[in-house]
Homo-oligomer: A and B are copies of this chain.
Amino acid sequence: MSRNCLARLGVALLLWTTVGMAKADEGMWLFTSPPEGILRERHSFAIPEGWLDHLRESAVRFPGGSGSFVSKDGLVLTNHHVGADVVDQLSTAEKNYLKDGFYARTRDEELKCPDLELNVLASIEDVTARVNGSVPAEADLAAAQRARQAEINTIEKESQESTGLKSQVVTLYHGAQYHLYRYRRHTDVRLVFAPEQQIAFFGGDPDNFEYPRYCLDVCFFRVYENDQPLQVQHFLDWREDGVNDGELVFLVGHPGRTNRLNTVAHLEYLRDVNTPEFIDMIRRLEVALSAWANRSPENARRAQDDLFGIQNERKRRIGMLETLQDPAFMKAKRESERDLRAKVAGDPSLAASAAAWDEVAEATKAWRGLKREYNLYERAEGFQSRMFTFARQLVRYAEETAKPNAERLREYSDSALPSLKEGLTADVPIYPDLEAVKLRSSLVSWLSRAGFEEPLVVDVLDDKSPVDRAAQLISGSKLHDAAYRKQLLDGGAEAIQASQDPLIQLARLVDGRARQARKAYEQQVEERLRQAYAKIAAARLATGGNNVYPDATFSLRLAFGVVKGYQEGTATIPAFTEFRGLYERSELHSGKPPFDLPQRWVDARDRLDLSVPFNHVATLDLIGGNSGSPVVDREGRFVGIAFDSNIYGLANDTGYTDVQNRCVNVDARGIIEALRSVYDAQPLLEELLK
């Protein structure tokens, strides 16, 4: 992205106003328009030349999470819970690295991950004009959506062909801007170090989103290229003496999704329809998987990765819902919206924007009507299982790749295919018994929601109970086998058509409905929202105001804040915890799960300096996807790694205040002390601190 373009954007954004903006250490800022003014005013900090580029190049995007380079030899640090599914894939019933941890003392011992792609952001380009220019002025929603999607597919393909970089168009401000992000893609990634999950996730679900905390939620990978460690120019220096209470820090990572710029109607829709239904769904999975996991230790091992994600999501969504249901919160949103609409109504030059809020409301109304079909079939909530997802991808791959790139579903556009194919054919362990539990539970729920009047029910059930049918679908399918998936992938449409695999047949059976639901959603909801939000953004710009950052989009952002404790009722929660507290908390629970300690930690107690900071909190604005984001100081040095928010941070989806909301980090000093005194990881320490 050119400096010129950056400057234009910066100016534009400086004029915007939005709900509760810039009154706090708030925001997930674009690297193309950082909060320079706010940083100067609030923290007397001027962003140094090259500082942003260095952080951008040091940041690493994980699937669903964040990380950073921490050595010149391509060493990457992220959260254990971000890497856990890979650690899980590398484990067996005999060698359980999740339970026992893993450390490669030499490069030879590093374990190649079967299915892990890391992305490093190489450049950003504003393609708003091109994307919007592709939509004819008088196009209806369907035509507009088709034209826009075709243009995005084309931009991505051209970019990829001309640069060789993975190229993704990101929709910002719900549709006001489109930026092309180009990534270097790394697929040879090896596991270097993972502690026992028990210390990474000490306190388990009960302590998740709580503070004080005592978690070594870290793991290390190394990126390879041509079988050699990747040599990187940019990586984070480790600040060995750590960060101080009250110090300014920054968070560099990939927040996934927020809803802060939503209109009130849009928030009400999330409050009344989408979020409650999603929570019911996630609770269903939690109960089904917990009950199954508790039947045997091996079940527990197989289910734990799914369960972690589910329980985390459940807490997060309930927190979101409780915020949306707070009359005070909604009142503030409503007042802010009323003010902006009044300004628009009073200014004839903004007439084009006046109806935008009603258009958003229209879109949510359409959404309400379409969601059942969309969720059941396109999101496949009726057929939840990894193996069904494979089936769906194989069926669609054959169909989509036969079309011109511009006409394809976006996840099958040429620029997306390399990652997709690798994911499909990676030799990761799939547990059919676990798959059957998920499929059974979702089939039962599907039957309730689709209703027995639904003609598909007869075909899907094939005259069996959902229990028997789920068992039969899974036991009859070979999709747990990577070689079989590769065979179907390579065999193309013909192989799919001929396949007797019951899950392939199921995926084909429901695909018509799923595609129909998706098309309706993309045209009636998504495109309508894009157009309406673009108008609202224009109104914000014209009516003046402060800086505004776009809602999170799982693309690189910068947050800022200070290391700081908080008040909870009459109690003061200090910013830092120490190793001492870990042992105390375990003892309070008599060492019972999930407060038990790995034997290595029990043994190391006397060797550890118990006064070393273990975790800390800071007023950094974050959301899911930020997990594993490095926390750096003014000089860009590594001082911690974000792994959670406290309970108040559950409100971050729709708004942020720095009164109690806190980002929870593993302290850089705690990592060093653990590597030294618990894991005796001298080579790793030397690499980090040299």
Contact = CB atoms under 8 A, between A and B. Distances in A.
Interface of A: 204-207, 268, 271-272, 276, 280, 283-284, 286-287, 290-291, 294-297, 314-315, 318, 321-323, 325-329, 444-445, 447-448, 451-452, 461, 463-468, 588-590, 592-594
B448 A272 contact: yes
Contact of A325 (B327, B447, B590): B447
A601 B325 CA distance: 50
Contacts of A328: 463-465
Copies of the protein in its oligomer: 2
9 contacts: A207-B295, A272-B448, A283-B287, A287-B287, A291-B315, A321-B444, A325-B444, A326-B467, A327-B461
Contacts of A593: 592-593
A465 B327 contact: yes
A113 to B, nearest CB: 29
Contacts of A295: 206-207
B452 A272 contact: yes
Contacts of A461: 327
Contact of A205 (B284, B291, B452, B465): B291
Contacts of A280: 280, 283-284
A629 to B, nearest CB: 26
Nearest to A327: B463
Contacts of A283: 280, 283-284, 286-287
Given A268-B452, A280-B283, 8 more contacts: A205-B294, A271-B452, A283-B286, A322-B467, A325-B465, A325-B466, A327-B464, A327-B465
Nearest to A268: B452
Give 9 closest A-B pairs by Cβ, nearest first.
A326-B465, A206-B294, A276-B448, A206-B295, A283-B283, A283-B287, A325-B447, A280-B280, A322-B467
Contact of A272 (B297, B322, B451, B588): B451
Contacts of A594: 294
A571 B434 CA distance: 21
Contact of A465 (B207, B294, B329): B329
A204 B207 CA distance: 23
A246 B445 CA distance: 40
Contacts of A467: 322, 326
Nearest to A295: B206
A291 B206 contact: yes
A626 to B, nearest CB: 23
Contacts of A444: 318, 321-322, 325
A272 to B, nearest CB: 6
Contacts of A284: 280, 283
A312 to B, nearest CB: 12
Nearest to A590: B297
A171 B467 CA distance: 34
Contacts of A325: 444, 447, 465-466
The residue in A268, A294, A297, A315 that gathers the most chain B C-beta atoms within 10 A of its C-beta is: A294
Contacts of A327: 461, 463-465
B294 A204 contact: yes
Contact of A287 (B204, B314, B329, B452): B314
A7 to B, nearest CB: 42
A684 B206 CA distance: 42
